[in-house]
C-alpha cells in the first residue's frame, strides 16, 4: 500500500513539474531516404497575435551531412506578423529554416534534403495564453512550403559577437591559428585573396603642391649614409618586430614615387638646359 501511495505521489510531482515548466515533447521524425522538398513541421500553434512565446528545440542527426542537428528557434506573433524571430545552432547542421502561416497554424519548414535524417522536437512555453492542446498532434511531412507571412530565420549565436545570417559581427578580437589575437583580426599563417581593399586618408598628392618642401638629393644621400634606409620608411628591425601597415606603407611608397618623379623632372630640366647651353657653345665655336 505504501509503495502504491509513494508511486502516486511521484507521478503527481512529475506532472506538477511538467505543468509548471510547460515543456512538451511534440514530435519524433525520421526519413530513411532523401526528402524531395524538405521537412514541414505542422504545429497546432494558432497564428494569433500575442498568444504565445514558444522556444522550439530540434535535436538529432543528419547522416547525409555527417552532422549533429541542434537547433533552437523562437518567435513572437504581433500585429499579424512574425517578429523577434531567430534560430541558434548548437550542432553541425545549419539548414535554412522558415516560419509560415498555413490555414491559421504556425508551420516550421526546415529546408534540408539530407539523406537519412532524424530528429526530436521539444517545445517550451510559459507566461502567455498557451494551451496544452496546442502541443498535441504535430506532424512532419515532406511537402513544399506554402502559406502566408513567411519569414526566413537568421542564425544567431553569441560568441562575444553575432553570427547573423551570412554575416559575422564581432565586438572583440578574432584569431585564426592563434589563441591570443592582438588586433581585430589576427592570422597566424598565409592569406590568399583575389583582392584586398584598404581604406586610408591623406593620400600624398600634396607632394605635387607648390608648398611641399622637397628634400634635396644631397640631404637624402646623407640620410641614407647615416641611417641606412629612406627617410620616413621604417628600418628593417622595426618591420621585423612590428610588421607593416598596408595602408600606411602604400602611402609612404606612393609618396616616395611622387618625390622620385619630381627629382626626375628636375634632372630632366637640368639636362635640357645643359644640352641647350652646349649646343649654343658649339654653334658659337663654329662661327
What is the average per-residue pLDDT within 94-112?
A: 95
Three-class DSSP labels, 95-139: CEEEEEEECCEEEEEEECCCEEEEEEEEEEECCCCCCHHHHCCCE
Domains of the chain, CATH where assigned: 21-157 (2.60.40.1680), 204-286 (no CATH)
Distance CA 91, CA 95 (A): 11
What is the average per-residue pLDDT within 35-50?
A: 94
CA distances from 116 to 34, 52, 66, 86, 101 (A): 6, 32, 10, 26, 27
Query: In this prediction, what percent of the chain has a pLDDT beyond 70?
Result: 89
61 falls in which pLDDT band (50, 70, 90)?
A: very high
Query: Element (H or E) spanning 157, and its range?
Result: none
pLDDT of residue 157: 80
Residues 143-191: pLDDT tens digits?
Answer: 999 999 999 999 988 766 666 777 777 777 888 888 888 888 899 999 9
What is the average per-residue pLDDT within 60-76?
A: 93
pLDDT of residue 187: 92
Note the pTM of the prediction, 2 decimals.
0.57
pLDDT of residue 163: 64
Closest CA to 29 of 131, 150, 132, 122: 122
Residues 121-130: pLDDT tens digits?
Answer: 999 988 778 8
280 falls in which pLDDT band (50, 70, 90)?
A: confident
- Most confident region among 5-19, 54-68, 156-170 by mean pLDDT: 54-68
pLDDT of residue 12: 41
> What are the backbone angles phi and psi of residue 61, rounded to the nearest 5°?
-145, 135
Residues 189-241: pLDDT tens digits?
Answer: 999 999 988 888 899 999 999 999 999 999 999 999 999 999 999 999 999 99
Amino acid at each position: 500500500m505504501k509503495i502504491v501511495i509513494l508511486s502516486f505521489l511521484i507521478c503527481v510531482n512529475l506532472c506538477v513539474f511538467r505543468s509548471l515548466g510547460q515543456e512538451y515533447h511534440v514530435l519524433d521524425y525520421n526519413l530513411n531516404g532523401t526528402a524531395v522538398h524538405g521537412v514541414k513541421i505542422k504545429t497546432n500553434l494558432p497564428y494569433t497575435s500575442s498568444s504565445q512565446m514558444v522556444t522550439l528545440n530540434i535535436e538529432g542527426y543528419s547522416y547525409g551531412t555527417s552532422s549533429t542537428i541542434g537547433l533552437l528557434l523562437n518567435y513572437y506573433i504581433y500585429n499579424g506578423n512574425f517578429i523577434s524571430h531567430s534560430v541558434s545552432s548548437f550542432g553541425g547542421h545549419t539548414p535554412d529554416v522558415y516560419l509560415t502561416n498555413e490555414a491559421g497554424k504556425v508551420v516550421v519548414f526546415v529546408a534540408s534534403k539530407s539523406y537519412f535524417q532524424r530528429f526530436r522536437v521539444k517545445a517550451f512555453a510559459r507566461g502567455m495564453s498557451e494551451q496544452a492542446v496546442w502541443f498535441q498532434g504535430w506532424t512532419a511531412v515532406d511537402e513544399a512550403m506554402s502559406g502566408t507571412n513567411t519569414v526566413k530565420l537568421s542564425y544567431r549565436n553569441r560568441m562575444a559577437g553575432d553570427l547573423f545570417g551570412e554575416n559575422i559581427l564581432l565586438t572583440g578580437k578574432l584569431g585564426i591559428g592563434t589563441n591570443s589575437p592582438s588586433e581585430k583580426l589576427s592570422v597566424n599563417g598565409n592569406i590568399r585573396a583575389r583582392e584586398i581593399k584598404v581604406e586610408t586618408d591623406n593620400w600624398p598628392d600634396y607632394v605635387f603642391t607648390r608648398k611641399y618642401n622637397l628634400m634635396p638629393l644631397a640631404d637624402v644621400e646623407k640620410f641614407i649614409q647615416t641611417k641606412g634606409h629612406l627617410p620616413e620608411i621604417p628600418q628593417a628591425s622595426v618591420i621585423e618586430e612590428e610588421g607593416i601597415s598596408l595602408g600606411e606603407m602604400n602611402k609612404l611608397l606612393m609618396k616616395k614615387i611622387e618625390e622620385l618623379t619630381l627629382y626626375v623632372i628636375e634632372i630632366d630640366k637640368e639636362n635640357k638646359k645643359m644640352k641647350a647651353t652646349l649646343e649654343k657653345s658649339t654653334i658659337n665655336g663654329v662661327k
